[in-house]
Amino acid sequence: MTKKHPRIWTWFIVSLILVVLAACSSGGGNTSSSGGNTSGSGNTSSGNTGDNNSASDGPRYTFRLAETHPAEYPTTLGDRKFAELVNERTNGRITIDVFPSAQLGEERAAIEQVQLGAIEFTRVSTGPMAEFNQDFGVFSLPYIFDDDDHVWRFLLSDAGDALLDSLQGSGFQGLAWYSSGSRSFYSSKPLNSIEDLKGMKIRVQENQVNIALMDALGASATPMPYGEVYSSLQTGVIDAAENNYPSYYSSGHYEVAPYMILDGHQRVPEVLIVSKTVWDKLSKEDQEIIRQSAIDSIAYQREKWAEYEKESETMVRAAGSVITEVTDIKPWQEAVKPVIDQYRDKYADILAAIDAAR
């Protein structure tokens, strides 16, 4: 008898604690609503000393950014710089966690998740973006840029900004471009000239323009996610792939495809994007901080890109890759002309803007 009362009290107290805890957790820490949690609310992680300005006011968010490359790769370094600037400029109110090495999925899957709003941000190549916004296919057209400076003059022009904004129609907001150099072919078999590509199964980034491009070279296009290329080269599922020096090196592809020919057929820039669903819920001030931070991270990414491009070339040469220079690019440009002819009308306006940036 005497034991019963204390047990009832214990249950009562435990229930009371649970109710109080539940009430606390639903009231605070709401990272995605636009109401609630304004300034001064338990700012424990930002080190904010109380000198609040408008950047500190507003909801707290923790977002995810999907990145296919490993932690030390220049795009990942750019992502992290971007995240750091956003965090600083909101006094710790907005955190963007960068997930490298395709931890959140391969690029195409990550883009789909961002489109749905399940992942907030991603940095991807404009190659696979072409399947989500056709205008982006222009970057897969061969030999349309003279060099990297030409690419950047275009990307930073009004036409480049318009392309970023055109992503709104596909469920994204484009934030900034990053460098990606030029792409060349590499194979497990010797590559001495354009003729050697004939009949090869070549892995390409997943879009239609690349299929036309491989046809024009007499090769057969095998679109597949980046993460599958190493084993596919190793097992002979494909004969060749193509990429820039940094990816050729960091992915280890040079180990299984030691022959590279420097034809530089494409310059396919990288792009930093955010889900439109997420973007539309942000205040104008937060949008401005995020957009400006993305733009301000470009210089750092380009600097890291230039360093890593040299370093990766040195590393693959030291590892014994056989790198063939192309002395006359004309036969290559001639061979891929049907691709340009096929897409000239579709991309007339963008191609005109690219010409104007020469």
Q: Which residues bind ligand BDP (CB under 6 A)?
A: 68, 75, 107, 124-125, 180, 205, 226, 243-244, 247, 270
- The token pair at 194 is 């354009």
Ramachandran area for residue 321 (φ above 0: left; ψ -120 to 50: alpha; else beta): beta
In angstroms, the CA 349 to CA 344 distance is 9
Distance in Å, CB of 312 to ligand BDP, minimum: 11
Q: Which is nearer to ligand BDP, 164 or 353 (CB)?
A: 164
Termini Cα distance of the chain: 93
Distance in Å, CB of 181 to ligand BDP, minimum: 8
Measure Cα distances from 165 to 17, 27, 287 in Å.
50, 36, 13
Q: Which is nearer to ligand BDP, 144 or 204 (CB)?
A: 204
In angstroms, the CA 248 to CA 7 distance is 67
Distance in Å, CB of 172 to ligand BDP, minimum: 15
In angstroms, the CA 96 to CA 79 distance is 9
Q: Which is nearer to ligand BDP, 91 or 244 (CB)?
A: 244
Complete DSSP assignment for 161-224? HHHHHHGGGGTEEEEEEE----EEEEESS---SGGGGTT-EEEE-SSHHHHHHHHHTT-EEEE-
Distance in Å, CB of 19 to ligand BDP, minimum: 49
Distance in Å, CB of 334 to ligand BDP, minimum: 25
Distance in Å, CB of 203 to ligand BDP, minimum: 8
Report residue 243: phi and psi, to 5°.
-175, -175
In angstroms, the CA 270 to CA 124 distance is 6
Cβ proximity of 358 and 157 under 8 Å: no
For the chain, how are helix, strand and coil distributed in percent, rounded to 5?
A: 50, 15, 35
* Side chain identity, residue 150: H
Distance in Å, CB of 30 to ligand BDP, minimum: 33
User: How do 94-99 and 61-67 pair as beta strands?
Assistant: parallel
Cβ proximity of 31 and 59 under 8 Å: yes
How many CB atoms lie under 10 A from the CB of residue 245? Answer: 26
Q: Which is nearer to ligand BDP, 125 or 293 (CB)?
A: 125
Q: Which is nearer to ligand BDP, 60 or 203 (CB)?
A: 203
Q: Which is nearer to ligand BDP, 226 or 259 (CB)?
A: 226
Q: Which is nearer to ligand BDP, 188 or 244 (CB)?
A: 244
Q: Which is nearer to ligand BDP, 83 or 229 (CB)?
A: 229
Distance in Å, CB of 294 to ligand BDP, minimum: 16
Distance in Å, CB of 111 to ligand BDP, minimum: 11
* Half-sphere CA count of 131, side-chain side, radius 13 A: 17
Q: Which is nearer to ligand BDP, 271 or 282 (CB)?
A: 271
Cβ proximity of 141 and 347 under 8 Å: yes
